[in-house]
Copies of this chain bind each other. A is one copy, B any other.
């Protein structure tokens, strides 16, 4: 018999997101589950850490389950969980996020992914789950909820059976807005949104700006296409070490130029 797997459950939406309850339902029989989340929603915080001020940790009881609340980011959650709540977990699961986390652009700014990527720097495998829906109500629609719970569980069970894929640090799972049993491995699109800024004026007439994104045209053979056009479940493997793979020759001329000038 093996020791119970220590699973850290987190998200970037805080304790009251229905996505958290869904993911807890999916993992509850797979091991010993610790739930540690940001106390307030922290979407789009990326891998940000709170270093300039201290964080608080509080405990909440919801549906007979203890939830630890951290006054910080999803990345803070990883370190607080490891050092204060549970010790190093065997697996981190994050989500289920309301809204997809598709494309390089979104992956690197997402708090849902931030928790998982921060964990992977610590050598802890992680899986982020996101659903391409617009509201908690859509996520909670009974048939859809059942689909997300069952599929998340199957993905994690499969992972525990086959082991984390070699050379992969984290997995990013996105569910389409429709119920399906089709699943693909997809590389991410580079961008999901074009950057837009809208100017408004406050009651004193002073300008302020909203940042928002407008979907860009979808590239074929990407995570965005798989989920939004094909209605499939997309799994994207993330390998942090590869960030810095490059053809040595491509940088050679540049390096030589610098050296000449520095020594000249």
C-alpha spacing A155/B259, complex, angstroms: 9
Interface membership of chain A positions 43-74, coded 1 if the CB is closer than 8 angstroms to chain B and 0 otherwise: 11111111110111100000000000000100
Interface range on chain A: under 10, 10 to 19, 20 to 34, or 35 or more? Answer: 35 or more
Closest B residue to A57 by beta carbon equals B209
A240 touches B243 (CB 8 A): yes
Q: Is A2 an interface residue (CB 8 A)?
A: no
Q: Which of A46, A80, A158, A261 has the most CB of B within 10 A?
A: A46
Kindly identify which residue among B105, B235, B243 contacts A121, using a CB–CB cutoff of 8 Å. B105
Among B118, B212, B246, point to the contact of A168 (Cβ < 8 A): B246
| A56 contact from B161, B209, B211, Cβ within 8 A | B209
Which B residues lie within 8 Å of A47 (CB)?
46-47, 108-109
Q: Is there a chain B Cβ closer than 8 Å to A250's Cβ?
A: yes
Tell whether A76 is near chain B: CB-to-CB under 8 Å: yes
A166 to B254, CA, bound (A): 11
Complex Cα gap A38–B251 (Å): 31
Is A155 in contact with B242, judged by CB distance below 8 angstroms? no
Instruction: Report Cα–Cα, A114/B248, bound state, in Å.
Output: 24
The answer, yes or no, to whether A32 is at the interface (CB within 8 Å) is no
Q: Is A94 an interface residue (CB 8 A)?
A: no
Known pairs A80-B209, A155-B258, A167-B250 / 5 extra A-B pairs, C-beta < 8 Å: A46-B47, A55-B208, A79-B195, A108-B117, A187-B244
The 8 closest A-B pairs by CB, nearest first: A46-B46, A83-B197, A158-B257, A46-B47, A166-B250, A242-B242, A54-B208, A165-B250
Q: List 24 A-B contacts (CB under 8 A).
A: A45-B46, A45-B48, A46-B49, A46-B108, A46-B109, A51-B212, A54-B209, A80-B211, A83-B196, A84-B199, A105-B121, A121-B190, A151-B262, A154-B261, A155-B258, A162-B257, A165-B250, A183-B258, A183-B262, A185-B248, A237-B244, A238-B243, A242-B243, A242-B244
